[in-house]
Amino acid sequence: MAINFPGSPTNGDTYSYGGKTWTYDGTATKWVPANILSDVTATAVELNYVDGVTSAIQTQLDAKVTADVTGEFIADSYNETYAAVTSTGGASVIDCEAGNTFSHVLTESTIFGFNNPPASGTAYTMSIEIIQDASASGYTVTWPASVDFPAATAPTLTATASAVDVFVFTTRDGGTNWYGFTAGQALA
């Protein structure tokens, strides 16, 4: 339905058609519907929620929305948080709450620990990129006793300078059992 507004209106002119009224806004040179909220069924309190929204709406939503998806989730893109971990005194701890993708440049032989996996019943999978030092020192890694590799044998790390080995670990019982897999070795 095309509306033929009057030509050459002046600021404040009104025009009615089909039970609706418009007012001419001369500063914006356009016709604005009068009573634009007439079909809104919201209380003043509900409208004031909108009034309180700032330009930092994402920050506000992140602080308030903690919903879980219980149905199918389909995404056009998916990203995981990456964290580099270090070792101290021959020990390195992976904090599962810090991300899903980790890397560690070996500076010594290291015993790994996996902390803070989600509770039993929630699956969690992570990848760890192990990088040998540039001097080809042949440092080794000891995985947690809860990790089960194929044939119950942990893989041997590539010992050449700056070699990259990638491993994947998954659990669904709160970290009581982890399944470990080699995703690739001698990648660099």
Could you list the pLDDT tens digit for every one of the 188 residues in the chain? Answer: 567 777 778 888 887 777 777 788 776 667 667 666 666 677 766 666 655 555 566 566 566 665 666 667 777 888 888 999 999 999 999 999 999 999 999 999 999 999 999 999 999 999 999 999 999 999 999 999 999 999 999 999 999 999 999 999 999 999 999 999 999 999 97
SS3 content of the chain, % helix, strand, coil (to 5): 10, 30, 55
What single DSSP character describes residue 37? Answer: T
137 within 8 A of 160, measured Cβ to Cβ: no
This prediction's pTM: 0.64
In this prediction, residue 26 carries a pLDDT of: 73
Return the pLDDT at 39. 64
User: What pLDDT shows up at residue 58?
Assistant: 58
Cα–Cα distance for residue pair 61/67, rounded to 1 Å: 11
